[in-house]
């Protein structure tokens, strides 16, 4: 499976969901990171990491 920029939001959402279940105190921090990643992916700025 090749991971592209379109897969990034789904992967970040999955990781964020798992972290929220494990450490609910860090909800604000995890949501902030998720929103930053989704914003960067939406702007296409994460494509530079695509090999």
pLDDT digits (tens, 9 = 90+) for 21-41: 888 888 888 788 878 877 877
Query: What mean pLDDT, rounded, does the chain reach?
Result: 77
Judge whether 16 and 30 are in contact, CB under 8 Å: yes
Write out the H or E segment, with its range, that includes residue 39: helix 27-43
- Is the full-model pTM beyond 0.75? no
Separation between Cα atoms, residue 22 and residue 5, nearest integer Å? 26
DSSP state of 51: -
Say which residue, 37 or 14, is predicted with more confidence. Answer: 14
Separation between Cα atoms, residue 45 and residue 28, nearest integer Å? 23
């Amino acid at each position: 499976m090749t991971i592209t920029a379109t897969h990034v939001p789904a992967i970040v959402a999955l990781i964020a969901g798992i972290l929220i279940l494990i450490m609910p105190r860090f909800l604000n921090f995890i949501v902030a990171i998720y929103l930053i990643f989704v914003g960067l992916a939406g702007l296409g700025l994460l494509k530079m990491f695509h090999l």
